[in-house]
Amino acid sequence: MNQTLLVELQTEELPPKALVKLGAAFANGIANGLKARDFLDADSVVTTYATPRRLAVSITKVRATSPDKTIREKVLPVSVALDKDGNPSAPLAKKLAALGFPDLKVADLERAQDGKAESFFHTYTAPGSQLAAGLQPVLEEAVAKLPIPKVMSYQRPDGETVQFVRPVHTLLALHGAEVVPLSLLGLASGRATLGHRFLSNGHSIDIADAGQYAGVLKEQGKVVANAEERKETIRNQLLAKAGADQVLMPESLLDEVAALVEWPVVYECRFEDVFLSVPQECLILTMQTNQKYFALTDSAGKLRSRFLIVSNIETDDPSAIVGGNERVVRPRLSDAKFFFEQDKKKTLASRLPQLANVVYHNKLGTQLERTQRVTRLAAAIAGRLGYDVALAERGAQLAKADLLTDMVGEFPELQGIMGTYYARNDGENEEVTLAASEHYQPRFSGDALPSTDTGLAVALADKLETLVGIWSIGLQPTGEKDPFALRRHALGVVRMLVEKRLPLGISDLLKQAAAVFEGQAGFKDPTQEVTAFMLDRLRGLLRDRDFSPNEVEAVLAQNPDRVDDVVQRLEAVQAFAALPESSSLAAANKRITNILKKNEDALSQASAVDPALLQDAAEKALFASVERVQPQVDAAFAAGDFSGTLKTLAQLRDDVDAFFNDVMVMAEDPLLRNNRLALLQRLHGMMNRVADISKLAA
């Protein structure tokens, strides 16, 4: 019969950051193993359960016995199975005995072609396996392959030493209402499990039927077995408790807290208002990172002195829980307040000499040397963009100074953020203060770009210096390894150039970045490689914005150095591709490209098109159309009207088609041939002003 299967390991507290992965691996390992052994239906449903004290899986429509299978097995090649007289050989008898068919005769075997030779085959029906026999190796294999962060060895009451992520107390295995006899980690399977450590009084709970597992655990054991359900329960309780305030609940924190509790209950706590004088980022970080608390802000985003905690205990009088958590958080906030007050006693500028004691990389010098390089580069970029060079220099000088503060030493995640607070406290220009944090932007995919000119210049300089410097010492990304986040830095530069429409060439920027390493021992200029790397990041960025691969390649095939208008070119290519003439012109352009590539030597001898050498009506018509359309294309392109540039080309379709139908480009007369090549070269240049439209051809 097909019944729901339930398998559970009830354990001591599992590592919270690994819980979701462990639960998924346990469930998938069992489900995939049973599927491979043909115990599951096509529409069997797998449900994963993972709590701090258990890993479990429920699978619907699991067979008690796997189906019989027809197996066709190769026995031996005919040349080995029969002797020279055609009689059964000793190897054949030995092979049949090994396969479990000692009584088979040659006449019982199938003789069939096997590659270039003939072989004997035997077809038989293998009976299905009982679920217990199939599930035992599946369970062992699934447990062996769990992504356990650190294996623990422990001794069972009977003295046996076993290994698992945490000690296991019970093994539950049910198929419907029947126990599936299994053994694992010194345990025999049964139907008993344990509920919540405190709320269920530690009593054993028998599960009568596999399908009742989650409901019985919730009602009798005070355990929400499904991790996603616990997470959503926490989310809803947080929102209800927050009321009119906003609750800060990053998904990573929700995941971790959901892995710490089996019966989540949210309570409200408070801290003294005096701590609100500390930058709220510090308070929020210490609450989230150290205590797993949820901070609250008002509608304007200002931190409140009330915060929310998620407890594993439900009680009518939570005063002890609330008071305990308030006492625990107070020293943390006091430390943050102390660090902040101490840091403000020294200006950021006064800390700069100490950067000489901080190694950036042993091949690239100290943080002070790096700061000097970034300062020179930021000033050069600001000058080219017409920004305030002095502000860019000051912003770059102070950008890394907060690395030497106590607050950043305690909370590295606050680097840049604290720099802005301290620079503002020092009375620095507001653009300089913002550059301390903005030069890290964008920190991740979709993050905001710097909002100020100074922040933009310093951010570009910082990322370009990192790209060129790290690449020059041979630490460029390989495969999935990118320890210096060069992909993120390159993407950040590309985004700033594209989204801010900056009139700067990629290779020029990289050459300027390479120039600040002048005199650096062993420095090798990686400009060419990094340029290609950045264009590849641009390619991915544009595809993520729903431009097709062909459209992206049409624009990037020309390896543009300036990319400030790349989106506008792509939008023009999209509009052109929608025209009925586009496919014909794209195909023609592809043909022209191939012709020109094959005749580079002849092209070097050709000059401008000579109208007197035009003979066929089709080539005369094409030349006339090119003469007429060229000024329109030039004017539209000069005005930045890329869409208009490409749409103008639609007028040429009929003449281009007629040319290739009626004119032999590679004429025997070299003058005619070179003149026709020159006409195609002129047409090619006009057609590819905005993009290589041949890439649109199927």
Query: What is the per-residue DSSP string for 69-120?
Result: EEEEEEEEEHHHHB-TTSPBPHHHHHHHHHTT-TT--GGGSEEEEETTEEEE
- Separation of alpha carbons 554 and 354, rounded Å: 50
- Separation of alpha carbons 622 and 624, rounded Å: 5
Question: Element (H or E) spanning 490, and its range?
Answer: helix 486-499
- Separation of alpha carbons 676 and 616, rounded Å: 11
CA dihedral 483, 489, 492, 497 (to 10 degrees): -160
Query: What is the per-residue DSSP string for 380-434?
Result: HHHHHHT--HHHHHHHHHHTTGGGGSHHHHH-GGGTTHHHHHHHHHTT--HHHHH
Using CA of residue 547, residue 549, residue 551, residue 552, what is the dihedral sign? positive
What tokens were used for 22?
Answer: 């462990």
Q: Are residues 378 and 486 in the same domain?
A: yes
Instruction: Count Cα atoms within 13 angstroms, Cβ side, for 259.
Output: 18
Identify the domain containing residue 292 by its residue range: 227-343
What tokens were used for 318?
Answer: 């939570």
CB-based contacts of 103: which residues, under 8 Å, 6+ apart? none
- Separation of alpha carbons 366 and 372, rounded Å: 10
We report the CATH number of the domain holding residue 679 as 1.10.730.10
Assess if residue 555 is contained within a domain. no
The answer to whether the CB of 585 falls within 8 A of the CB of 697 is no
Q: Are residues 361 and 329 in the same domain?
A: no
Give pLDDT, residue 603: 73
Q: Are residues 585 and 652 in the same domain?
A: yes
The residues with which 27 forms a beta bridge, in sequence order, are none
Between strands 187-188 and 183-184, the pairing is antiparallel
Question: Residue ranges of the chain with pLDDT lower than 50?
Answer: none
Q: 459-469 pLDDT, tens per residue? A: 999 999 999 99
Give pLDDT, residue 698: 60
Number of domains in the chain: 5
CA dihedral 318, 319, 321, 322 (to 10 degrees): 110
Residue 353's SS3 state is helix
Buried/exposed code over 601-616 (b: 16+ C-beta within 10 A; e: otherwise) = ebbeebeebeeebbeb
Q: What is the largest CA-CA distance in the chain?
A: 105
Question: Element (H or E) spanning 46, and its range?
Answer: strand 46-51
Q: Are residues 249 and 371 in the same domain?
A: no
Assess if residue 383 is contained within a domain. yes
Instruction: Count Cα atoms within 13 angstroms, Cβ side, for 123.
Output: 4
- Separation of alpha carbons 388 and 256, rounded Å: 46
Q: Are residues 603 and 664 in the same domain?
A: yes
Assess if residue 56 is contained within a domain. yes
Q: Are residues 199 and 54 in the same domain?
A: yes
The answer to whether the CB of 118 falls within 8 A of the CB of 78 is yes
358: left (phi over 0), alpha (psi -120 to 50) or beta: beta
Assess if residue 554 is contained within a domain. no
Q: Are residues 59 and 138 in the same domain?
A: yes
Read off φ and ψ for residue 169, nearest 5 degrees: -100, -40
- Separation of alpha carbons 503 and 660, rounded Å: 40
Assess if residue 560 is contained within a domain. no
Q: With helix as H, strand as E and coil as C, how does 227-292 read?
A: HHHHHHHHHHHHHHHHCCCEECCCHHHHHHHHCCCCCCEEEEEECCHHHHHCCHHHHHHHHHHHHC
CB-based contacts of 58: which residues, under 8 Å, 6+ apart? 4, 5, 6, 46, 47, 49, 210, 211, 213, 214
The answer to whether the CB of 498 falls within 8 A of the CB of 555 is no
Strand segments, DSSP code E, in 480-564 are none
Q: Are residues 536 and 480 in the same domain?
A: yes
Give pLDDT, residue 439: 97
Assess if residue 274 is contained within a domain. yes
Give the distance, in angstroms, between the CA of residue 639 and the centroid of all CA atoms in the same chain. Answer: 39
- Separation of alpha carbons 435 and 393, rounded Å: 11
Helix axes 389-398, 453-472, angle to 10 degrees: 60
What tokens were used for 512?
Answer: 């300027």
- Of 88, 110, 125, which residue sits at a domain end? 125
Assess if residue 561 is contained within a domain. no
- Of 292, 316, 343, which residue sits at a domain end? 343
Instruction: Count Cα atoms within 13 angstroms, Cβ side, for 577.
Output: 22
Q: Are residues 335 and 363 in the same domain?
A: no
- Separation of alpha carbons 556 and 565, rounded Å: 12
In angstroms and rounded to an integer, the radius of gyration of the C-alpha atoms of the chain is 36
What tokens were used for 529?
Answer: 């490689």
Q: With helix as H, strand as E and coil as C, how does 542-584 read?
A: HHHCCCCHHHHHHHHCCCCCECCCHHHHHHHHHHHHCCCCHHH
Q: Are residues 111 and 187 in the same domain?
A: no
For the sheet with 168-175, list strands across it.
46-51, 54-63, 2-11, 168-175, 178-179
Give the distance, in angstroms, between the CA of residue 154 and the centroid of all CA atoms in the same chain. Answer: 37
Identity of residue 201: N
Residue 15's SS3 state is coil
- Of 343, 377, 412, which residue sits at a domain end? 343
Using CA of residue 346, residue 352, residue 357, residue 361, what is the dihedral sign? positive
The label of the residue with tokens 């003469």 reads 627
Q: Are residues 140 and 55 in the same domain?
A: yes
Assess if residue 605 is contained within a domain. yes
Q: What is the pTM of this model?
A: 0.79
Q: Are residues 173 and 59 in the same domain?
A: yes
We report the CATH number of the domain holding residue 500 as 1.10.3210
Give pLDDT, residue 629: 92
- Separation of alpha carbons 159 and 166, rounded Å: 17
The label of the residue with tokens 């600040």 reads 516
- Separation of alpha carbons 554 and 464, rounded Å: 27
Give pLDDT, residue 606: 67
